[in-house]
Amino acid sequence: MTVGSRNSVASMLAAAFLASVSPVVAHHSAAAAYDETKRVEAQGTVTRVLVRNPHSWVFLESADDKGQKIEWQIEMGGVPSMAWTKDALPIGTAVKVVGHPSRAQGSHGLTAATFTKADGTPIGPRAGRGEYTPR
């Protein structure tokens, strides 16, 4: 084997290795953005649902104890992992959500959320077992 062909083989192997591990390296842990040691409850009305990759989002509008509007941002898994459709949570649906809170001071974000209707009936394909936590 010549030096040129060894370099070519080594280059191809390196490229194949990098292509196989880069998706894993590029993804992130939820622990940096969310406090996985705590659970927070929010109640509100669904205002928007974004089903996309790499993460989907559900937005709720609620009010604090002073009547000020709050927008909750619930981060969920991407399309393949979450098994939800956009129609699973129609706009205007009143829900209760429990999940890990955002670490960002003053924000209203959640992840690893479970959704229930106002009467306590679980919503979603995992029915009360929690949504995918981004890692």
Which residue did the predictor score with more confidence, 56 or 124?
Answer: 56
Whole-model pTM: value is 0.69
50-103 tens-digit pLDDT: 888 888 899 999 998 899 999 999 998 777 666 666 677 889 999 999 999 999
For residue 109, the number of C-alpha atoms closer than 13 Å in the C-beta half-sphere is 18
**Whether residue 110 has pLDDT greater than 80:** yes
Alpha carbon separation from 126 to 7, 33, 75, 78, 129 (Å, rounded): 50, 23, 16, 15, 5
Stretch 121-130: mean pLDDT, rounded?
64
Q: Is the peptide bond before 90 cis (omega within 30 degrees of 0)?
A: no
Q: Which residues contact 29 (CB under 8 A, 6 or more apart)?
A: 134, 135
Cα–Cα distance, 92 to 57 (Å, whole number): 15
Confidence band, pLDDT 50/70/90 cuts, at residue 3: low
**Distance in angstroms between the alpha carbons of the first and the last residue of the chain:** 43
7-51 tens-digit pLDDT: 555 555 555 544 444 344 444 567 778 999 999 999 999 999 888
